[in-house]
Structure 1
Amino acid sequence: MPVFFISSDCVHERRLIVTGPLVQHLRGSLRVKAGELLWFGDQNRRRYQVRLDEVALTRITGKVVDVCTEPTNSSVHVTVAHAVVKAHRMSWMLQKTTELGMTQLVPLITDRTVVHAKVSQHKQMVERWHRIALEAAQQAERWDVPTIHRPTKLSTFLDESVHYDVKLLLWEKETELRLPTVLRGGPRPTQISILVGPEGGFTDQEVDAAKRCGYQTVTLGPRTLRSETSALAALSVIQSEFD
């Protein structure tokens, strides 16, 4: 059963009150009824099992019958810095990387980025991406929703990426260093950054700039993958190694 994300303010003294768009989703799309048991999660990584007692036009209420918190774990936090691609491909990538445990997405503007949106459109784009991530996180029963950043120039992101333990650049010209080799070559990381280029790949100058900032170029194998497929493949390897 999906976990529906709410603000912790929605729960008070073991009572849940939900208003806003989630009501329309639960009432209209899912057709939930009074008496059903649902799971809700808040920003504090706390989950509530709630028995609904009212499903009205503008609000849903219920009694909290169980509460649990996220088990202590040593999950690796993965930032995917992915060049902006066409809308349907970006949406698919975001949905699947959310399911695979991505912590945050940084949409990149690179030299070969095909999609160029005006700065005034960035807010709307991020809102749409957040909705996609939210729905995917609910379906995957995650404890959190990935953070979605505004589109950022590659050079700016590189300047701000000093805190990552492992920095990876997926590069079609790399033929020797495989991703699993890098992941197994040192202590367990806590923060990983993955750079994924646009349809035409990163330029040599961009790769050189990333290397100067500590990024290692890695290959996922002999086949040429779409950029969004590369992101999924890399996350799958990371999940296999550390989860």
Structure 2
Amino acid sequence: MTTRIFHPQPLQQQSQVQLSDSAAGHVARVLRMRVGDTIELFDGSGLAYPATLATVEKRKVLADIGSALQHSVESPLKVHIGQGVSRGDKMDFTIQKAVELGVDKITPLLTERCGVKLQAERWQKKVLHWQQVAISACEQCGRNSVPHIDQPVSLADWLTEETEQLKLNLHPAARHGINGIESVPAVGVRLLIGPEGGLSEQEIIAAREHGYQSILLGPRVLRTETAALTALTALQTRFGDLG
């Protein structure tokens, strides 16, 4: 299996590039790759570039870039998840698997029952960490476009944002599931997922007032990370590229 590595600056075919410090350490010390070994680079632009290692040192790795590859595994369905922030590594898990399932964008949401309270500086570090989780998931699953992780916002602010996407909110009392949705606009879906403990009744009412239709996933109560991935899988199966 080809080693795929994200490069934070734009790549150019038929040129040489120095890998970032973290990527160089992974290639040289973890994978123990050598001069002449091949990797695949991508910069988030949607293209991938085969590359051959020209220099491999502990702190410096140079790679000769070949011609750009046009292959894409992006889903035709755009899904923007608004995810209530969860504790521990549950948020990492949700982001990682959502990227594998083709999510387009994730906004962490601060809700009434959000159990994570941080200062602004620590939130910034969290977002950088979550973005790296998304990048690592792209390296693993073959995506060349990296989903964006937004800065956390309050649910109230997120609900008022203008969008032409289909607005969905999971609710156990909904009348129908995803199979009951007849069509999705070309701009995709905006999916609201509550945190651990779910959304409050007032938040559910607010979502409904802002045009979010309630959908049902099934008769069982799902954890927040399970709910997000189950809904995304169902949407990709019905309207995207999962068979």
Give the TM-score normalised by the residue count of structure 2.
0.91
CA distance in 2, matches of 1:74, 1:24: 32
Does the aligned pair in 2 maintain the 1:10–1:18 contact within 8 Å? no
Match of 2:142 in 1: 141
Shift of 1:66: 3.4
Native 8 Å contact 1:108 1:153 kept in 2:
yes
Establish whether residue 238 from structure 1 lines up as the match of residue 235 from structure 2. Answer: yes
> Once the 2 structures are TM-superposed, how far is the Cα of residue 57 of structure 1 from its aligned partner?
2.4
Q: Which moved more, 1:146-155 or 1:71-80?
A: 71-80
Matched residue, 2:46: 45
2:172 corresponds to which residue?
172
What does residue 226 of structure 1 align with? Answer: 223
Unaligned runs of 5+ in 2: none
Shift of 1:43: 2.7
Are 1:15 and 1:61, in contact at CA under 8 Å, matched by a contact in 2? yes
Quick check: 1:107–1:149 contact (8 Å CA) kept in 2?
yes
Deviations 1:87-135 (A, max 9, x none): 2111111111111111111111111112222223110111111111111
What count of residue pairs does the alignment treat as equivalent?
239
Secondary structure of 2:58's aligned partner: coil
2-structure distance, mates of 1:144, 1:210 = 30
Change (3 A) 1:165 1:12: closer
Instruction: Summarize the alignment of residues 123-138 of structure 1 with structure 2, pairs less than 5 Å apart.
Output: 123-138=124-139
Structure 1 residue 147: deviation in Å?
Answer: 0.6
CA contact (8 A) 1:16 1:62 kept: yes
**Alignment partner of 1:211: what SS?**
helix
- Going from structure 1 to structure 2, the CA distance change for 1:142 and 1:71 (only over 3 Å counts) comes to closer
Q: Which has the higher strand share?
A: 1
SS, match of residue 21 in structure 1:
helix
Is residue 13–residue 67 contact of structure 2 (8 Å, CA) maintained in 1? no
Unpaired runs of 5+ residues, structure 1, are none
Are 1:199 and 2:199 matched, yes or no?
A: no
Match of 2:64 in 1: 63
Aligned runs of 1:38-117 on 2, under 5 Å?
38-71=39-72, 75-117=76-118
Provide closer, same or farther for how the CA distance between residues 29 and 164 of structure 1 changes in structure 2, counting only shifts above 3 A: farther
Give the match's secondary structure for 1:66: coil
Q: Which segment is superposed worse, 17-26 or 147-156?
A: 17-26
What's the CA shift for 1:73?
A: 7.0
SS of equivalent residue, structure 2 residue 143: coil
Q: After TM superposition, where is structure 1 displaced by more than 3 Å over at least 4 residues in a row?
A: 7-13, 70-74
- Once the two structures are TM-superposed, the CA of residue 74 in structure 1 deviates from its matched residue by 6.8
Is the alpha carbon distance of 1:202 and 1:224 closer, same or farther for their aligned partners in structure 2, counting shifts above 3 Å?
same
- Give the partner amino acid of 1:170: L
Is contact 2:13–2:66 with CA below 8 Å preserved after alignment? no
Contact 1:179–1:218 under 8 Å retained in 2: yes
Mark the CA change 1:71 to 1:201 in structure 2 (over 3 Å): closer, same or farther. closer
Secondary structure (helix, strand or coil) at the match of 1:117 reads coil
TM normalised by structure 1 equals 0.91
Q: Which stretch shifts more, 55-64 or 213-222?
A: 55-64
Q: Does the 8 Å CA contact 2:13/2:68 hold for their aligned counterparts?
A: no
Using the alignment, how far apart are the partners of 2:134 and 2:184 within structure 1?
Answer: 30
How far off is 1:75 after superposition?
1.2
How much has 1:194 moved relative to structure 2? Answer: 0.7
